[in-house]
Amino acid sequence: MKTLYIEAKYEKQVTVPKKIIEKLEKKIAIFTTLQFIDSLPGIKREIEESGRTVKIFKTTHTKNPGQIYGCNMDKFPGVDSFLYIGDGFFHPKAIIVGNDKPVHTYNPFSNKYKLFTREDAKADFQRQKAGYSLFIMKKNIGVLISTKIGQSYPVLALKLKKDFPDKNFYFIAFDTVDLNRVNDFPFIDVIVNTACPRIGWDDKTDKPMVDLQTIYFYSKLI
């Protein structure tokens, strides 16, 4: 099926208030979502005029430099902190996951500012670590596999059978992952997410869930 991608961009130019720029560290990287991407050059210029150094990184999966997805947990070296332009906190948490640096956030719609630190994502890390512990202890494991382009990793999902031969794996394929459907499998103890990273991080699930990347990070198998 052919897919048409239409970019929906904010038509006005976003600027960052001076009082927020004054809170930023000397070396900073800025990120935003697609709708504000055209405002980045102006924001970069504003911050640099304050004597700060600004970097705009290109992430692994995004089209534009400075654009970020909620699943971009890349490491971005050479900066003291980050500035995220946009609403919501899902994207800033992605930056925190990959980088132990503060993330300043500015919502151009509400004009509100918030500083995110590693402590703000502490509960998310704890849930992932607890999910990994249960994965090691339990026998019956459900594995979520997305069939969507860019989110489908069946080869890595099947690798679990080789690396953990003592467990029973049940592979559940979705076009659109519906976390409520995991309740259809009452015999499953733990869910492993192999689709878009961070599915389940901010969601309430009836079964413990852990990312595939978390399993291999702690088990040191790759």
Give 215's contacts (C-beta < 8 A, 6+ positions apart): 132, 135, 160, 192
Regarding whether 88 and 68 lie in a shared domain, the answer is yes
Residue 93 belongs to domain spanning: 18-116
pLDDT values of the chain reduced to their tens digit, one per residue, 222 residues: 787 888 888 889 999 999 999 999 999 999 999 999 999 999 999 999 999 999 999 988 788 999 988 777 778 899 999 999 998 888 888 888 778 899 999 999 999 999 988 888 788 788 888 889 999 999 999 998 888 877 778 888 889 999 999 999 999 988 877 777 888 889 999 999 888 777 766 666 788 888 888 888 777 654
Token duo for residue 42: 């102006």
In angstroms, how far apart are the furthest CA atoms of the chain?
A: 60
DSSP three-state, residue 94: helix
- Which segments within the chain are labelled E, that is strand? 27-32, 53-55, 81-85, 103-107, 112-116, 140-146, 168-174, 190-193, 209-211
Regarding whether 110 and 42 lie in a shared domain, the answer is yes
What's the pLDDT at 200? Answer: 67
Query: At 103, which CATH number?
Result: 3.40.50.11850
Regarding whether 90 and 53 lie in a shared domain, the answer is yes
Alpha-carbon Rg of the chain, whole angstroms? Answer: 20
Regarding whether 151 and 96 lie in a shared domain, the answer is no
| In a domain? residue 138 | yes
How many Cβ atoms are within 10 Å of 171's Cβ, its own excluded? 16
Task: Give the phi and the psi of residue 159 in degrees, each rounded to 5.
Answer: -60, -25
What's the pLDDT at 221? Answer: 53
Query: At 161, which CATH number?
Result: 3.40.50.11860
